[in-house]
Amino acid sequence: MPYVAEQNRYTDMKYNRCGKSGIKLPAISLGLWQNFGGNQPLENSREMILKAFDLGITHFDLANNYGPPAGSAEETFGQVFKKDLLSYRDELLISTKAGYYMWEGPYGEWGSRKNLLSSLDQSLKRMGLDYVDIFYSHRPDPETPLEETMGALDHAVRQGKALYVGLSNYNMEQTSQAINILKRLGTPCLIHQPAYSMLNRWIEDGLQEVLDTNGVGSIAYCPLGRGQLTNKYVDKIDAESKSASSTMKPEAITVERVQKFRKLEAIAARRAQSLSQMSLSWALREGGVTSALIGVSRVSQIEENVKALEQAPLSAEELTEIDEVMRNIGDLPW
């Protein structure tokens, strides 16, 4: 049966202006970093993409190397786009990135003009698109002049292959320099995509101020701390702390760490939220990011995460309580 989008898809989703641009991003965006690659069933990926759009998620975030294998997430999205979303193209914000390793030889990664523009052509082919809405430099290149990397982004816009440009994983100083170069070129930076969560607040040490001052939006990846800020992780560390043969690092399953996560769960429960929902509310609080990128493996996770927007914003008292709980907790992997 042909796909028809939910008629009321824009009723409940919240949309935030991206910096000082004309673009509004959904508060929750869908990242196709994992679980959308060629090693996953296409129908499951299709169901997640279409459910996201039915819930008002208009922004789909990709990169040339997303999979696995690298490139296959774009191919998956391209198949779904061609079959189901082609007629909705003007309602979608589709982004991709270049900078990480993609092919052999000296031009297959980093930030040269050769790499970025060649990669963008490949991404457009994989997705079956004439243009992307946002094209990112995925990481700064320590050996390529920043002027060359930003010049490639500017050229992509002038070619009509991207509408806007962005940065990802750039620190405060690099971001400030890149923004200024793009301004001089006449292609302003729309957005910065950093890792950001309760466990990883590095952007608060200067980067967020740079973005605010220059009217640049922000979209957080890993707002759930790579799964740590979910009830599933809390249950796992609780179980592992009692196991004689733990598979987790000893520093990840201390009694103190388990207690801290349980306290976070209790705060969320008082708000009638799951821990993941409260973590998204935190990332999107006043002074937080424009949008939060979620990574999912099933439709129910999209539905749960979007429900985070139904609750009232975190109060000053709740934010203070969270800060106290999170003090010295550390950002540890699974």
pLDDT tens-digit map of 201-220: 999 999 999 999 999 999 99
- C-alpha–C-alpha distance, residues 321 and 65, integer Å: 39
Sign of the alpha-carbon torsion through 211, 212, 213, 217: positive
Is 90 exceeded by the pLDDT of residue 330?
A: no
Judged against a pLDDT cut of 70, whether residue 294 lies above it is answered with: yes
Confidence of residue 329 (pLDDT cuts 50, 70, 90): confident
* pLDDT of 1 over the 90 cut: no
Whether 59 contacts 166, CB under 8 Å: no
pTM of the model: 0.95
d(CA 199, CA 331): 5
Q: Residue 31: is its pLDDT beyond 90?
A: yes
The band of 290, judged by pLDDT with boundaries at 50, 70 and 90, is: very high
For 58-88, write each residue's pLDDT tens digit: 999 999 999 999 999 999 999 999 999 999 9
Has residue 296 got a pLDDT over 60? yes
Greater pLDDT, 244 or 131: 131
Looking at residue 145, its pLDDT comes to 98
> Are residues 305 and 280 in contact, defined by beta-carbon separation less than 8 angstroms?
yes
**pLDDT value of position 334:** 45
C-alpha–C-alpha distance, residues 104 and 285, integer Å: 42
Give the pair of three-digit tokens for residue 236.
């796992």
Q: What is the mean pLDDT of residues 132-152?
A: 98
Distance, in Å, from the CA atom of 311 to the CA atom of 130, rounded to the nearest integer, reads 39
Q: Is pLDDT of 237 > 90?
A: no
Q: What pLDDT shows up at residue 175?
A: 98
Is residue 194 classed as helix, strand or coil in its secondary structure? coil
Residue 165 has pLDDT above 50, yes or no: yes
Decide: 284 and 251 in contact? Cβ < 8 Å: no
Nearest to 19 by CA among 191, 178, 238: 191
CA distance 157 to 320: 43
d(CA 147, CA 132): 22
Mean pLDDT over each residue of the chain, to the nearest integer: 95
Superfamily of structural domain 15-226+277-312? NADP-dependent oxidoreductase domain (3.20.20.100)
Residue ranges of domains in the chain: 15-226+277-312
pLDDT score of 219: 98
Name the residue among 23, 21, 46, 51 with its Cα closest to residue 36: 46
Q: How far apart are the first and last CA of the chain?
A: 40
Residue percentage of the chain with pLDDT more than 70: 96
* Cis geometry, peptide bond prior to residue 26 (ω within 30 degrees of 0): no
Show the tokens assigned to 310. 């139904």
Query: If pLDDT is split at 50, 70 and 90, which confidence band does 234 have?
Result: confident
Whether 332 shows a pLDDT value over 70: the answer reads: no
pLDDT, tens only, 92-124: 999 999 999 999 999 999 999 999 999 999 999
Which residue in 221, 229, 224 sits closest to 257, CA to CA?
229
- Banded pLDDT at 248 (limits 50, 70, 90): low
Contact 65, 101 (CB under 8 A): yes
| Token pair belonging to 264 | 């976070």
Output 189 or 332, whichever has higher pLDDT.
Answer: 189
Note the pLDDT tens digit of each residue in 32-55. Answer: 998 999 999 999 999 999 999 999
- Please check the confidence at residue 231 and state whether its pLDDT lies above 90: no
SS3 at position 130 = coil
Evaluate whether 47 touches 297 at the Cβ level (below 8 Å).
no
Beta bridge partners of 167: 137, 192
Whether the pLDDT of residue 238 is over 70: the answer is no
Confidence of residue 245 (pLDDT cuts 50, 70, 90): low
Q: What is the mean pLDDT of residues 124-136?
A: 99
